[in-house]
């Protein structure tokens, strides 16, 4: 290569810079070009980092998120699936228990007299006239209430059916009144419960008194028979049956010794009735007539 500035050999290339400076084989890059190169390099690096994140890091992040959320989701799902049916079943059971009526039956012996105590649960009492009451499938306890005259078939004593005075008379001092669903059993020749039963469209009937205030009441009828009573025992109204034939006096004394506070007689002997237990099992007592008297009447709990 010649040292002369203006002499160029055939095989040589002269490079003249922007500022008029010559370089032997390469043009010196400007500052602007260098900046562009740096930016390009940085952009390329950013793209590479982003690609690396997408290809390598994102799946791992998603995997970590799945690992952290999956157990919680599974536990929550399992809890919901197991708890909801239990709560629903518990609610249904509670509602069904509250709505379903039944009668508990307990046998006991007092003064060598066998007694069966029938206690209605979740049921309300009413009076019904006619033999159809003995076929009521919704009833949990049915027992004959007032006596029927043998000569004309009328109900003996005062009788009120849903506020209507069906029969009038005071041959017996014992009474049962059902007013606004509440039952009262007592002994009185005259009682305001009669008028209240009429005014409130309630129920009322009379029968022989057996026990009043825990004391035995003597009755005229003698002899022995199967006995039934509507009694107040431990604050509950129950029906008590004798499992064998007994006299009025002995039956009343057994009731008093059992702890009955008040009691009146119900139609005894072979008068028909039934009770249903908690499972729906039906226990019948007495004989069911195929042609019952027109005014046969029943206490019905349902």
| Pair 80, 104 in one domain | no
| Pair 87, 110 in one domain | no
- pLDDT of 289 reads 84
- pLDDT of 68 reads 43
Q: Which of 97, 118, 133 is the last residue of a domain?
A: 97
Q: Is 4 within a domain?
A: no
| Pair 140, 256 in one domain | yes
Task: Please name which of 219, 228, 168, 179 lies closest in space to residue 201, comparing C-alpha atoms.
Answer: 179
| Pair 139, 275 in one domain | yes
Q: Is 8 within a domain?
A: no
Task: Please name which of 181, 159, 259 lies closest in space to residue 214, comparing C-alpha atoms.
Answer: 259
Q: Is 7 within a domain?
A: no
| Pair 113, 247 in one domain | yes
Q: Is 86 within a domain?
A: yes
| Pair 79, 117 in one domain | no
Q: Which of 41, 71, 97 is the last residue of a domain?
A: 97
Number of domains in the chain: 2
What are the b/e assignments for 249-267, b being 16+ CB within 10 Å?
Answer: ebbbbbbbebebbbbbbbb
Q: Which domain holds residue 71?
A: 27-97
Strand ranges in 24-112 using DSSP code E only, listed in sequence order: 102-110
| Pair 151, 219 in one domain | yes
| Pair 228, 263 in one domain | yes
| Pair 130, 170 in one domain | yes
Task: Please name which of 212, 204, 227 lies closest in space to residue 157, comparing C-alpha atoms.
Answer: 204
- pLDDT of 159 reads 98
Q: Which of 97, 132, 148 is the last residue of a domain?
A: 97
| Pair 128, 50 in one domain | no
| Pair 106, 90 in one domain | no
Q: Which long-range contacts (CB under 8 A, 24 or more apart) does 287-292 make?
A: 288/134, 289/131, 292/130, 292/131, 292/134
Q: Is 92 within a domain?
A: yes
Q: Is 3 within a domain?
A: no
**Residue 272 and residue 134: Cα distance in Å, rounded?**
8
Q: List the Cα angle 130/134/135 in 5-degree steps.
A: 110
| Pair 32, 166 in one domain | no
Q: Is 145 within a domain?
A: yes
Going by their DSSP bridges, the two strands 228-233 and 282-285 should be labelled as unpaired
Mean pLDDT per block of 10 residues along the chain (302 residues) reads: 48 47 46 58 63 53 45 37 38 53 98 98 97 93 95 94 93 94 95 97 97 94 94 97 97 98 96 96 92 93 96
pTM, full prediction = 0.68
- pLDDT of 222 reads 85
Q: Is 20 within a domain?
A: no
């Amino acid at each position: 290569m010649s040292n002369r500035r203006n002499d160029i050999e055939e095989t040589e290339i002269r490079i003249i810079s922007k500022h008029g400076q010559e370089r032997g084989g390469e043009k010196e890059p400007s500052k602007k070009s260098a900046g562009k190169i740096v930016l390009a390099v940085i952009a390329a690096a950013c793209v590479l980092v982003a690609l690396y994140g997408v290809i390598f890091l994102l799946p791992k992040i998603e995997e970590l998120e799945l690992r952290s959320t999956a157990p919680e989701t599974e536990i929550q799902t399992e809890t919901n699936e197991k708890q909801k049916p239990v709560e629903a079943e518990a609610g249904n059971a509670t509602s069904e228990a509250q709505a379903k009526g039944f009668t508990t039956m307990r046998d006991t012996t007092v003064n060598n007299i066998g007694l069966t105590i029938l206690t209605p649960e979740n049921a309300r009492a009413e009076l019904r006239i006619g033999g159809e009451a003995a076929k009521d499938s919704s009833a949990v306890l049915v027992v004959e209430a007032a006596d029927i005259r043998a000569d004309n078939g009328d109900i003996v004593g005062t009788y009120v059916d849903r506020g209507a005075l069906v029969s009038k008379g005071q041959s017996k001092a014992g009474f049962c009144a059902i007013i606004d669903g509440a039952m009262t059993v007592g002994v009185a020749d005259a009682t305001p419960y009669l008028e209240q039963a009429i005014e409130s469209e309630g129920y009322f009937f009379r029968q022989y008194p057996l026990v009043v205030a825990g004391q035995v009441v003597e009755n005229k009828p003698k002899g022995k028979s199967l006995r039934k009573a509507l009694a107040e025992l431990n604050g509950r109204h129950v029906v008590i049956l004798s499992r064998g034939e007994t006299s009025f006096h002995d039956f009343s004394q057994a009731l008093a010794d059992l702890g009955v506070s008040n009691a009146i007689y119900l139609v005894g002997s072979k008068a028909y009735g039934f009770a249903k237990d908690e499972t729906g099992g039906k226990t019948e007592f007495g004989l069911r007539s195929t042609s019952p008297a027109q005014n046969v009447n029943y206490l019905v709990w349902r």
